[in-house]
Chains A and B, each alone.
Chain A
Amino acid sequence: MTTLGLGVERLEQALLGNASGLRVCPGLAGKGYSSAVAGQVPEPVFEQLRDRDATHADARAFLLANAALSEAVLSARGLEAVSPSRRALVLSTTKADMDALERLFRREPCSAAARRHIQPSLLAEDLAAAQGVAGPVQCVSAACISGLLALKQGALLIRRGRADAVFVAGVDLLSHFVLSGFTTLKSLDAEGCRPFDRDRGGLSLGEGAGALVLARRELAPPRAISVRGWGVSDDANHLTGPSRDGSGLALAISRALTSGGASAEEIDYLHAHGTGTSYNDAMESRALRTVFGGQVPPFGSSKGMLGHTLGAAGILETILCLIALRAQTLPGTPRLREPDPAVPASVVATPRPAERLRKLLKVNCGFGGTNAAVLLERNGE
């Protein structure tokens, strides 16, 4: 569920076509935000979802996440062998139903269902109930690395023997709250984000939901993609800005490689955080050089496609990685025009067939100096 609409096929088409879902949103213009360019879920999509679930008509975060979960569960094979008590759910979000909080703040009508979802953990509980999950439920809220942390927690629930299948979802809404926040930080690019571009001027916000189904290896199809390892770190440096030397992200990547038993040379592609802010992209470039030296693997960012969807970013971008692994295509970097000379030359501007795409790293960074990396591997070679 993204600015591109409903379904993985939309993401696949956009990835292969290097398309951008960012656009000038008339509803955001003239409200004091420093950019009206965003990755907003089209209102007809919400209307479609409300038609399906009238009881959650104004619970926008639930509608998005539940639709993404339903889509993922529907397409997952082998789930019928897993009893509800062995199914778990991990939700990633930064602000849950911020729309509901804003309405309460403005003293506007807000249903009890939406009001519950101001608390992220209750949103997770309700999603679990809607999806028939009777096993463990977790909710991760750790800024923009929430999605990758949720993926890690899901994999750990299986590894620790506490579940056989885990539904991992991420959701965040485009709200006055986050638009105001990033405006105060002067982080928005008025023209729309251009990750790793010489003329990049900031990020673009987006909204959406994504969901993945993780399963114990024996239950998964032979060619399912594995979550091999992960690494998490903190810069211990600054609350809202990345460390200048990229050492925190480099540490997270190194931990992921160690955890997954892979060497730096084995990485075929790295899907970057790539927000399009000057500091982030410079920091990531340094981190990549620290880990990979002069042999930085092909890398790119999809923030120019979907915008920065915050708590959903790690999940949605992991889905893009899965599409790339299946299609054996190196994703491009939508909206990148002229690569910054300071960025490693292996940045991929437009998608191209991969000579080999087996091991892939997905990284994200967040407020609080947090960094996360997840190692994915295609099986069945």
Chain B
Amino acid sequence: MSDKAILAASYLGPAGHGNDLTGIRPWGAPLSDALGRGELGELHWSLVFASDPGRFARMDYMSRLGLMAVELLEAGLDALPVRTRDRLGVCVETRAGSLSTDVRFLQTPRASLFAYTLPSTLIGEICIRYRLRGPVLCLMAPTRLGFASLDEACCWLDEGEADACLCLGCEAVEPETARAMDLETATSNWHACAALVGAPEGRPRERAMGSGTDSLLKTCLDLCGQRPTGVHPVGAELPTNAPGRDPLAKAALKATLPTANRD
């Protein structure tokens, strides 16, 4: 079993955005008003990207959110050698997937919109933007976003399928759609979190498990309504092959939340 760590983590949601270096940064006015209410505001590339990444304007909210979460990782993906990019997996987890875009397509069928009526389109956008070649996977979460993607990433590393993996939880449901579809709306209708899982070699420990990372992951969990119980410190390594269905995600999470940051 290989040594694994969350090398970077990032988050975007109504409360703000951040990564393991910066922590949560509230959205500036006037965005904070709309986003704080859980509404999907205009997410401009300049909120996260230093320059126009291209294609951004044509993307749906899910792809925008996911791509912004990956960029927020500040993981230097652009500078990775080809060999590394060809061994970097992408695993997306979502509950409602492209539902809001589906409804928009039903209202106005357009080819440019149809491409975004799949939850896995986000994977395509990420792979195009960062020139990644997979493996890839898109899992639909049962009721709330869990961390099945983290578990999958750990297995990929153990099984030699990938050397590192981008894990994303992404939700983008417009309140109107959620109401019409009777979707559970107790938690935020939109948020994205990303984590880069890989071998910790050559990475400063504080970078691999900085306090910002922990609080970000915890924030993600809170927003996803998934509060783990009995959290205990087990360091940076993430376990695999834990038994059962639900414990899988929780086991991975236990490993990422040291005592100092739990409540």
Binding site for B on A (CB under 8 A): 94-95, 98, 101-102, 104-105, 115, 118-122, 124-125, 135-143, 149, 153, 156, 160-162, 177, 180-186, 231-240, 248, 251-252, 255, 259, 366-371
Interface: B83 (CB within 8 A): no
**Which residues of B are at the interface with A, using a C-beta cutoff of 8 A?**
86, 90, 95-97, 99, 102-103, 105-106, 109-111, 114-115, 117-125, 127-128, 130-143, 148, 155, 161, 180-183, 240-241, 243-245, 248
Residues of A within 8 A of B103 (CB): 101, 105
**B155 pairs with A156, CB closer than 8 A:** yes
Give 13 CB contacts A-B under 8 Å. Answer: A115-B181, A119-B183, A121-B95, A121-B141, A124-B142, A141-B120, A142-B137, A143-B120, A162-B241, A180-B109, A185-B114, A248-B133, A255-B135
Contact A234 B138 (CB under 8 A): no
Q: How far is the CB of B229 from chain A (nearest CB, A)?
A: 20
- CB-defined contacts of A180 to chain B, threshold 8 Å: 105, 109, 114
B95 partner residues in chain A, CB cutoff 8 A? 119, 121
CB distance from B89 to the nearest CB of A (A): 9
Question: Whole-angstrom distance from the CB of B13 to the nearest CB of chain A?
Answer: 21
Q: How many Å lie between the Cα of A104 and that of B136 in the bound state?
A: 32
Interface-centre pick from B96, B130, B140 (highest chain A CB count, 10 A) = B140
Q: Enumerate chain A residues within 8 angstroms of B121, measured Cβ to Cβ.
A: 143, 239, 367-368
- Knowing A232-B134, A367-B118, A367-B121, say if A177 contacts B241 (CB, 8 Å): no
In the complex, the answer to whether A369 meets B140 with C-beta atoms within 8 Å is: no
Find chain B residues with CB under 8 A from A185 CB.
111, 114
B138 touches A232 (CB 8 A): no
The reply to whether A366 and B120 form a contact with Cβ atoms under 8 Å apart is: yes
Contact between chains at B132 and A139 (CB < 8 Å): no
Q: How far is the CB of B40 from chain A (nearest CB, A)?
A: 19
A140 touches B139 (CB 8 A): yes
Contact yes or no, A118 B99, CB < 8 A = yes
Find out whether the CB atom of B128 lies under 8 angstroms from the CB atom of A239.
Answer: yes
Which of A124, A177, A251 has the most chain B CB atoms closer than 10 A to its own CB? A177
Complex CA gap A119/B171 in Å reads 13
Given A180-B109, A233-B133, A234-B123, A124-B155 contact (CB < 8 Å): no
Residue of B nearest to A118 (CB): B181
Report how far A185 CA is from B117 CA in the complex, Å. Answer: 13
| C-alpha gap A137/B245 in the complex (Å) | 8
Report how far A212 CA is from B132 CA in the complex, Å.
31
Query: Of all chain B residues, which has the CB nearest A371?
Result: B134
Known: A124-B140, A234-B133. Is A94-B118 also a contact (CB below 8 A)? yes
Chain A residues whose C-beta falls within 8 Å of the C-beta of B124 in the assembled complex? 234, 239, 367-370
Report whether B127 and A101 are in contact in the complex, using a CB–CB cutoff of 8 Å: no
B114 touches A236 (CB 8 A): no
Q: Report whether A138 and B109 are in contact in the complex, using a CB–CB cutoff of 8 Å.
A: no
Hey, which chain A residues are within 8 Å of B105, CB to CB?
177, 180-181
CA distance A181 to B105 in the complex (A): 8
| Chain B residues within 8 Å of A370, by CB | 120, 123-124, 134, 136
What separation, in Å, do the CA atoms of A142 and B99 have in the docked complex? 14
Identify 15 new A-B residue pairs, CB closer than 8 A, beyond the known A121-B143, A369-B127.
Answer: A101-B103, A118-B181, A121-B95, A122-B142, A137-B142, A141-B97, A162-B244, A181-B109, A185-B111, A239-B124, A366-B120, A368-B121, A368-B122, A368-B124, A369-B124
C-alpha spacing A233/B87, complex, angstroms: 10
Q: B120, B138, B148, B248: which has the most chain A beta carbons within 10 Å?
A: B120
- Say whether A236 contacts B181, CB under 8 Å: no
Q: How far is the CB of A146 from chain B (nearest CB, A)?
A: 8
B106, A236: Cβ atoms under 8 Å? no
A140 touches B140 (CB 8 A): yes
Q: Nearest A residue to B121 by beta-carbon distance?
A: A368
Cβ contacts under 8 Å, B96 to chain A: 119
In the complex, what's the smallest C-beta–C-beta distance from B220 to chain A, in angstroms?
19
A101 and B120 contacting across the interface, CB-CB below 8 Å: no
CB distance from B74 to the nearest CB of A (A): 21
Q: How far is the CA of A121 from the CA of B142 in the complex (A)?
A: 5
Partner of B120, one of A118, A121, A142, A238: A142
The residues of A that contact B243 with a CB separation of less than 8 Å are 162
Chain B residues, Cβ within 8 Å of A125: 142
